[in-house]
Amino acid sequence: MRYVSTRDSSGGPGLPFCDILLAGLAPDGGLYLPQSYPQVDAATLASWRTLLREAGYAALAAEVLGLYIDDIPSADLRGICDRAYTAEKFGAAEVVSLSDLGEGVLLGHLSNGPTAAFKDMAMQVLGELFEYELERRDETLTILGATSGDTGSAAEYAMLGKDRLKVFMLTPAGRMSPFQQAQMFSLDDPGVVNIAVDGVFDDCQDLVKAVNADLTFKARHRLGAVNSINWARLLAQVVYYIALWLHATADDDDRVTFAVPSGNFGNICAGHIAREMGLPIDTLLLATNENNVLAEFFATGVYRVRGRSETHETSSPSMDISKASNFERFVFDLLGRDAASVRDLFAHQLPMVAEFDLSRTDAFAGLRARFGFVAGSSTHADRIATIAAEHARSGIVIDPHTADAVGVARRLGASEAIARPIIALETALPVKFSATITEALGADVPRPERFAGIEDLPRQVVDLPNDAAALKDLIAAG
Ligand SMILES: *Cc1c(COP(=O)(O)O)cnc(C)c1O
């Protein structure tokens, strides 16, 4: 299996998995994708059904990853997945599971990992893959990132105790929820440096860019990233679509629909890949909040990225995006893998006029039938009403992001020709966003035992002015 950039029309041989694992963006600015998607037939799905039942989630993950990774021996890949997906980290041996929300909608639990958000599902594997490959190359890596919440903590918990990795994570001082701050700042590990920047999230991102722009510094300190465009993260996410499909179905041609709370298009892109591999997915229901860049594209064919001033702060904050960093991967497939067109859209049109329009193309006309996407969006009022209605119906409390997916599943799932069950993906536990839950239910969310009292633990955090030179000094000091 070789990997190619979405902007590379040269027809070159591509790169093996381990070369793109540590690379991030392709040199031409595109995103890496496999040259083709391995196909799974009914017999494979039947064997995976037995494998999941008898050997568990990590065994299934190793099989799926093995279809895309041929430069790590399969026994090592199995070891990587065994270390990533333990019952201890994910609260139960089965790792992912389903609950019934009633009337054809199921909840796919993906948020029982160390940081109570679905990002653990991919990040735990990424941490193990990085450590494995760095060991093999006898190298080290310094992860420099910026976070407003879930990504940073998932990255820190995944890199914990890994000798070849050190994490510097920037956060906007005083702007994350007390729970999210406590999750990160209570980590006491020499490999994790939490930094509170005197500024907002955009300032943190700008600092990361400024430091990375100094190529000498970047090379000397071996700077890398764990952002959502990393192919290994997407690949790890494909596994849970398969596992949830296996949990939800009895026969190997039963079709289901997935409803996915979307921001950077990472999660649902993994669903798209699972569908391209032949997993019997009927519809991919894409749910956005008020930041509806993606819902607008699937409704109109126009992709229009927003400026900072047009990006709303919402009560599902992990979906507050102005552009969707993984969307280029889907457009590549939508346009029949025409890299020259993708390059024109993403390297020329978007930077110049901040939008492109595919509404008059055959590709867009055939999109629903060929790729199964349907999109909808939610407002704060929808979110609150959905959390309350689902709680009244089933007694289950869902977080605001998950509520965006469940709300769209209830609204569109009834009116369109959409196969059931609909599996709505749970992307965080409600305890992370308790203020919104209290607003919806008039009561506090019960807190899982393992998070009891984390706000009272000593805080490990360095205060930093909004200044790239100061950040470089801190990294250089180790
Ligand atoms: C990251 C995140 C999302 C959005 O996922 P994408 O892969 O960016 O589409 C949704 N909900 C929560 C809780 C998240 O942390």
- Residue 431 Cα to ligand 1 midpoint, Å, equals 16
Q: How far is CA 170 from the centre of its chain?
A: 19
pLDDT digits (tens, 9 = 90+) for 374-402: 999 999 999 999 999 999 999 999 999 99
State residue 213's pLDDT score. 87
Q: 354: alpha, beta or left, given left = phi > 0 and alpha = psi -120 to 50? A: left
Ligand 1 binding pocket mutation candidate from 151, 318, 383 (most atoms within 8 A of CB): 318
Q: Which residues pair with 281 in a beta bridge?
A: 256
- Backbone Cα Rg of the chain: 21
Nearest alpha carbon, ligand 1 atom 1? 318
Query: Which atom, in ligand 1's list, is nearest to the CA of 267?
Result: 7
Q: Where are the domains of the chain?
A: 97-115+237-441
CATH topology of domain 97-115+237-441: Rossmann fold (3.40.50)
364 vs 91: CA distance, rounded Å = 42
State residue 205's pLDDT score. 86
State residue 176's pLDDT score. 83
267 lines ligand 1 (CB under 6 A): yes
228 lines ligand 1 (CB under 6 A): yes
> Taking the chain (478 residues) in consecutive chunks of 10 residues, what is each chunk's mean pLDDT?
96 93 88 97 97 98 98 98 97 96 97 96 97 96 88 93 94 86 92 93 88 91 88 97 98 94 96 98 97 97 92 90 92 98 97 97 97 97 98 97 98 86 97 94 89 91 96 94
Nearest alpha carbon, ligand 1 atom 8? 264
109 vs 368: CA distance, rounded Å = 27
172 lines ligand 1 (CB under 6 A): no
Q: What is the pTM of this model?
A: 0.96
Residues 272/241, Cβ–Cβ less than 8 Å: no
Q: Which parts of 87-149 fold into alpha helices (H)?
A: 87-90, 119-137
State residue 225's pLDDT score. 83
State residue 321's pLDDT score. 86
State residue 240's pLDDT score. 98
The strand order across the sheet containing 165-172 reads 223-224, 141-146, 165-172, 192-197, 462-464
- Residues of the chain with pLDDT > 90, as a percent, come to 84
117 lines ligand 1 (CB under 6 A): yes
Catalytic site positions: 119
- Residue 117 Cα to ligand 1 midpoint, Å, equals 9
6 lines ligand 1 (CB under 6 A): no
263 lines ligand 1 (CB under 6 A): yes
